[in-house]
Structure 1
Amino acid sequence: MIVVGAGPVGLALAAELALGGVSVRVLERRDSPDPAMRAQSINVPTAEALDRRGLLPALERIQRETLGVAGFRFTGHFAGMPLDPGLVDWADPELAAHTAVEGARMIPQPRLEELLAGHAERLGVHVRRGVEVTALEDTGSGVVVGTNTGSLRAGWVVGCDGGHSTVRRLAGIPFPGTDPEITGYQAVVDMADPEKLADGWSWSPQGVYRYGPQPGRVATVEFDGGPADRSAPVTLADVQSSLRRVSGTDVTLTGLRAAPTRWSDNTRQAATYRSGRVFLAGDAAHVHPPFGGQGLNLGVGDAVNLGWKLAAVASGRAREALLDTYDAERRPVGAWVLDWTRAQIGVLRGDPKSGALRGVLADLLGTRDGTTYAVKQIAGVTQRVSLPGAHPWTGRYVPDVLLSDGTRLSDHAHEGGFLLLDRTAGAVFGELAAGRARVVRDDGAGVAGALVRPDGVVVWASDTTDPVGLEPALRQWAGSDLLSYR
């Protein structure tokens, strides 16, 4: 198995493949990790995916080091309009069901990448740096990958190599969407006169800027038709010039504390996430404006969805038809994120019509219902997969489940594989799932049973001891001979 790209998505995918018992090589064209400033937070599904692999303590430590506090309720913003945590209905069932990771959300992308690199390495994943893919041939029984260091062969290849994906281009997969109209910069800087900038988000006819919340953090947005060369190095002068234009001040920047980034609202989604034995994940499959770090989270969701499926098929434990569910399940989530970020670009514009729309949205987001809705969307707790079954858990990421022995259900998922929660007196569910899922017996109160995929999606649940529907779910997802990974 070859994964192209050693960013967070590629590393997360490689780790899931390794948990599935598959030998995987990661090819990365860069000689060292990218230090550029990117996403500053992760959503609930991403945090829970890492929690299921035993990484929650490390995430909590990173948040404490980042913020200086342990507890923090992340809300975010919509088009620069902050969402007031005091207006959120934290007792909303969809929010209240996912609180175990609330101390592990403010995770800067470089720290997340470092964490995932260590996780993958412990699982035996080897990352080859300085290797650039130059050719790709799907032979029908495998893939020949040409690189600057020679040719490699693999059964399957996954492109996690970013918005300018070489894998996507060589596979001939179209990338339709909308062209950019903005140029954005993000940086952490030293400045001589910070008093010239207003805290938070500020609008002007020239664009939008944000100062804070971390000391020295600045971001700008200009509606200038998009950058002429997004790949060109970003200099201190670039950031200062943009900040001066949109703020209308002569603020002076004196240094960069972190590698700055340039971005746009180029918004595209691959026509298919799979072509034969070649797959796309992360920015290789979809690009959009970076508001709220949605791209990072969307990519990690791709990785954990595809990882266990591809491992099961590659090792002969499941039929290839299982792989068709990857595009079917992840494409709708990707399309939603594209529209969610596109909408924010429309609201950010400095023209009178967009300003009026921003005022209407500000009123809506100033209500309890409006803020709660937006926070749930940003947090990712409303995401679901369309699956048969009437139980409210079916198709959703498994909520926090505290067991009578003091552990949580996620504590039993560190080694991957399917989990079956069984709270029946006679272990009725566990007998059916023997050899196909790791059975977690519990005598606590709550849902009687739930079958959870390796990616955290519940494919069957029941409030009674009646096992109706469990066997079909086991056959469809776990397969008669698909054993738990460890």
Structure 2
Amino acid sequence: MDASVIVAGAGPAGLMLAAELRIAGADVIVVERLPERTGESRGLGFTARTMEVFDQRGLLPRFGEVETSNVGHFGGLPVDFGVLEGAHQAAKTIPQSVTETILEQWAAELGADIRREHELLSLREDGEGVEIEVSTPEGRRTLRASYLVGCDGGRSTVRKAAGFDFPGTAATMEMYLADLRGVELEPRMIGETVPGGMVMVGPLPGGITRIIVCERGNPPQRRTEPPAFQEVADAWKRLTGIDISHAEPVWVSAFGDATRQVTEYRRGRVLLAGDAAHIHLPAGGQGMNTSIQDSVNLGWKLGAVVRGTAPETLLDTYHGERHPVGRRLLMNTRAQGLLFLSGEEMQPLREVFSELIRYEEVSRHLAAMVSGLEIHYDVGSGTHPLLGLRMPRLELSADGRRTSSTELLHRGRGVLLDLEDNAVLRRRAAGWTDRIEVVTAAPAGAAPGGPLEGTAAVLVRPDGHVAWAAPGSHHDLPTALERWFGPAR
């Protein structure tokens, strides 16, 4: 074996997965066809859930001072995300290029072997592993690993070569995104309709202006290169009457509204994550964020399997947990597309939605959907309100020092929080202390009625989701530990 895992694609999903695998103790090779990062930034900023994910690995300081906001939208209709109490605010105006740079540096520091100018050409799986053929500047060569993960985008070679089904709907229109210098335009919110389509204008750092152009009736094209800027400028003028042809394009891209999802996220020793598993209309900045979260769900599980501490069946929970998330992502982006890409016939529905959003419960529901905070995994039956949800950030006192539930996850290991200094509980977990941290702690300054009120202990998975709690779980601690971390040593 050249590595335990080969990851195809060095975008946000692939780099996040490589880092998570290294934290989990797996050796990993990342193959990427491009010689260097493109510098393009389709994704912009982070949702509240991705902010949590980066926080739990101690990554947020690497991004410097992050501008955050509670202002969001659903289908172009303003939604106050401040109704999500206790959640991180969403980060704004962090270009995807910055995110990729930081994730690549982090993965490399952790020991990931990132090989650029390595284009995956074919793959062959057998009962023991996966062999891939790659094209390199020195010629073709083969690499072999126990598992292969395709993080190689919407046109995934891995997905096609491994025979994954990718049902859905084809694109019905083509839209443009461009970052420009040397042009002054009035800001326009996403969803601002004009006769013939929808346009958006937003300022980015460094004097750059981002525009999105959605012209109804513009048919999709099979492109091998980005559109010429003049195409974008012509469409902008048709929709707004404003000539921007004098602007300097930093980069230009075309995208569509195709909506597809693979029927399975795993086929034997080949798995998919990110855009390789699901494509959709960019709406609410969810694509990159969901892709990163796919990788966080998969990384610790695949790492445990290749280390031999957990059975291969643990990988089945990756599909079981993330496929419904992807399906819901496709549902809400299609709904948003109908709201901000349709013509006047959709105006009555927009007005009804605007009325409904004024109700706090509706705003909370939509905000949680778009930000990823509604995700609830099936970790077993029980009555504790945190089961299956992410552990919220809570200040704790442990061994005479202040810490937090988030800080305890920096090492990427499971955490058993003993909140009652229970020696019997700790003895029952002793067989798993090579995989989890057992921490005796107490909430520090927690207000009465908080999420841990009346809780004796909580088991948190490496991805931050609560797998067991006492009282309130309908199975005992060793059963939960074995399910998520393998048999006791």
Could you state the TM-score of these two structures normalised by the residue count of structure 1? 0.89
Greater share of residues in strand = 2
Report the equivalent of 1:242: 235
In 1: Cα distance, 2:184 partner to 2:95 partner = 26
| TM-aligned CA distance change 1:47 to 1:193, over 3 Å | closer
Shift, 1:316, TM fit? 1.1
Report the equivalent of 1:206: 196
Shift, 1:379, TM fit? 1.8
Contact 1:3 1:25 (C-alpha < 8 Å) held by counterparts: yes
In 2: Cα distance, 1:144 partner to 1:180 partner = 33
1:355-366 equivalences in 2 (<5 Å): 355-366=347-358
- Higher mean C-alpha deviation, range 102-111 or range 28-37: 102-111
In 1: Cα distance, 2:149 partner to 2:183 partner = 46
- Higher mean C-alpha deviation, range 222-231 or range 417-426: 222-231
Q: Secondary structure at the match of 1:45?
A: helix
| TM-aligned CA distance change 1:457 to 1:314, over 3 Å | same
Contact 1:44 1:105 (C-alpha < 8 Å) held by counterparts: no
The C-alpha deviation readout for 1:92-114, integer Å capped at 9, x for no partner, is xxx32434xx3756532111111
**Is structure 2 residue 119 aligned with structure 1 residue 132?**
yes
Q: Secondary structure at the match of 1:107?
A: strand
Amino acid at match of 1:21: G
Amino acid at match of 2:413: G
> Which of 1, 7, 24 matches 2:11?
7
Amino acid at match of 1:413: L
**Is structure 2 residue 174 aligned with structure 1 residue 187?**
no
| TM-aligned CA distance change 1:262 to 1:428, over 3 Å | farther
**Is structure 2 residue 459 aligned with structure 1 residue 459?**
no
> Which of 265, 275, 286 matches 1:283?
275
Contact 1:205 1:350 (C-alpha < 8 Å) held by counterparts: no
Report the equivalent of 1:92: none
The C-alpha deviation readout for 1:75-122, integer Å capped at 9, x for no partner, is 32112222246xx43xxxxx32434xx375653211111111111011
| TM-aligned CA distance change 1:479 to 1:295, over 3 Å | same
Contact 2:185 2:201 (C-alpha < 8 Å) held by counterparts: no
Report the equivalent of 2:24: 20
Report the equivalent of 2:151: 160
1:66-465 equivalences in 2 (<5 Å): 67=67, 72-84=68-80, 88-89=82-83, 95-99=84-88, 102=89, 104=91, 107-148=94-135, 149-192=140-183, 194=185, 201-214=191-204, 216-224=209-217, 226-247=219-240, 249-256=241-248, 258-388=250-380, 389-404=382-397, 405-436=401-432, 437-444=436-443, 446=452, 447-462=455-470
In 1: Cα distance, 2:90 partner to 2:368 partner = 16
In 1: Cα distance, 2:439 partner to 2:92 partner = 27
| TM-aligned CA distance change 1:463 to 1:401, over 3 Å | farther
| TM-aligned CA distance change 1:97 to 1:478, over 3 Å | farther
Amino acid at match of 1:441: T
Shift, 1:62, TM fit? 5.0
Count of matched residue positions in the alignment of Structure 1 and Structure 2: 462
In 2: Cα distance, 1:300 partner to 1:21 partner = 19
| TM-aligned CA distance change 1:372 to 1:468, over 3 Å | closer
Shift, 1:23, TM fit? 0.9
The C-alpha deviation readout for 1:56-75, integer Å capped at 9, x for no partner, is 2223x152xxx4xxxx3333
In 2: Cα distance, 1:133 partner to 1:425 partner = 52
Shift, 1:257, TM fit? 5.5
Report the equivalent of 1:469: 476
In 2: Cα distance, 1:257 partner to 1:433 partner = 58
Contact 1:191 1:252 (C-alpha < 8 Å) held by counterparts: no
Amino acid at match of 1:442: A
Contact 1:416 1:454 (C-alpha < 8 Å) held by counterparts: yes
In 2: Cα distance, 1:333 partner to 1:443 partner = 33
Contact 1:35 1:258 (C-alpha < 8 Å) held by counterparts: no
| Unpaired stretches in structure 2, ≥5 consecutive residues | 447-451
| TM-aligned CA distance change 1:184 to 1:427, over 3 Å | farther
| Unpaired stretches in structure 1, ≥5 consecutive residues | 90-94
Identity %: 38
In 1: Cα distance, 2:190 partner to 2:463 partner = 36
- Higher mean C-alpha deviation, range 128-137 or range 209-218: 209-218
Q: Secondary structure at the match of 1:461?
A: strand
Shift, 1:382, TM fit? 1.1
Q: Secondary structure at the match of 1:216?
A: strand
In 1: Cα distance, 2:190 partner to 2:129 partner = 51
Contact 1:226 1:264 (C-alpha < 8 Å) held by counterparts: no
In 2: Cα distance, 1:326 partner to 1:139 partner = 21
| TM-aligned CA distance change 1:357 to 1:154, over 3 Å | same
- Higher mean C-alpha deviation, range 331-340 or range 225-234: 225-234
Amino acid at match of 1:141: E
In 1: Cα distance, 2:189 partner to 2:377 partner = 39
In 1: Cα distance, 2:165 partner to 2:265 partner = 10
Contact 2:173 2:220 (C-alpha < 8 Å) held by counterparts: yes
Q: Secondary structure at the match of 2:288?
A: helix
The C-alpha deviation readout for 1:107-150, integer Å capped at 9, x for no partner, is 32111111111110110011111111111100111111011131
Contact 1:428 1:467 (C-alpha < 8 Å) held by counterparts: no
Contact 1:418 1:453 (C-alpha < 8 Å) held by counterparts: yes
In 2: Cα distance, 1:256 partner to 1:376 partner = 38
Q: Secondary structure at the match of 1:228?
A: coil
Shift, 1:152, TM fit? 0.9
Over the aligned positions, Cα root-mean-square deviation in angstroms equals 2.2
The C-alpha deviation readout for 1:305-354, integer Å capped at 9, x for no partner, is 11111111111111111111111111000000000000111112343321
The C-alpha deviation readout for 1:202-245, integer Å capped at 9, x for no partner, is 21231100112546221111233642124422332122122122
| TM-aligned CA distance change 1:199 to 1:160, over 3 Å | closer
| TM-aligned CA distance change 1:238 to 1:35, over 3 Å | farther
Amino acid at match of 2:440: R
Contact 1:451 1:459 (C-alpha < 8 Å) held by counterparts: yes
Could you state the TM-score of these two structures normalised by the residue count of structure 2? 0.89
In 2: Cα distance, 1:199 partner to 1:157 partner = 41
